[in-house]
Structure 1
């Protein structure tokens, strides 16, 4: 029998990492037991979080969805600003309908669409 175990049998408690600390009465013993329970509950909660793979994966997926949504908003805003800038430049040059700009934009869009369709076809 170890000294710590013997002290525990004599009325002490095991609360300080395996070291026996003697309680100085029933109230002190109750306080020590409550402290130990609190520490154990926190430890169990941390272990449960670490082993919850599904929950962690869902949280990560939600974070990625939020980032993708924010990026989409940012890209739309940038595209709108670029469109307005092109219209402003075309307006300053005196063109009512900026045909070269529209044709270049349509061509760029077609190239992107063809690239996307080819890439999907390979999968």
Structure 2
């Protein structure tokens, strides 16, 4: 049915064409709302986003509430701990002074004993040091005398052409040691070369 048939004299409906148009518009609006509701129900992402936003808002509110509760509890605990700390500190001061006094007395007693023992040890160490020093001096003089005699014997028993080099070696031992070390190296190198050649 169209408006045309209604104006041509056909049966239009209970209220006429105006009423029919109104019913059609109302039905369209209801269908539009129903379609929007169905689309909203089918929009899972949108619903999930809305739910997540709602949960975020709730979590934020809970966080603020928990923070304020924790801050208040922290303040209360801090105040109680401060009071307890002061009480312990006062007791510790008293005990500390008593321990310090005892330790001071004990320290002085130990120090006095240590001074006496230290003097005794110092005297004994000094005597032992003098004894060792005397023995070392005697041993050193004996070694020096023997070395001097051996040097004179070598110097006098050496043939006349070798006496100046022997005297030089006795006065300046460092070059002699260097030459001797070089000789040992040369001999060792010669022995190793012969062994390699023999193999």
TM-score range, shorter chain: 0.5 to 0.7
Query: Are 1:45 and 2:36 an aligned pair?
Result: yes
Per the normalisation by structure 1, the TM-score is 0.55
Query: Which whole-Å CA distance do the structure 2 matches of 1:55 and 1:88 have between them?
Result: 49
Q: Give yes or no for the alignment of 1:61 onto 2:52.
A: yes
User: Which protein is richer in strand relative to its size?
Assistant: 1
Gap runs ≥5 in structure 2? 1-9, 90-199
Which one has more relative contact order, counting CA pairs under 8 Å at least 6 apart? 1
Q: Which one has the bigger helix percentage?
A: 2
Alignment of 1:1-123 (within 5 A): 22-93=13-84, 95=86
Of structures 1 and 2, the larger Rg is shown by 2
Mark the runs of 5 or more structure 1 residues left unpaired by the alignment: 1-9, 13-21, 99-123
Deviations, residues 62-86 of structure 1 (Å, cap 9, x unaligned)? 1111122112112211110111111
Q: Distance in 2 between matches of 1:73 and 1:96?
A: 35
Q: Post-superposition shift, 1:89?
A: 2.1
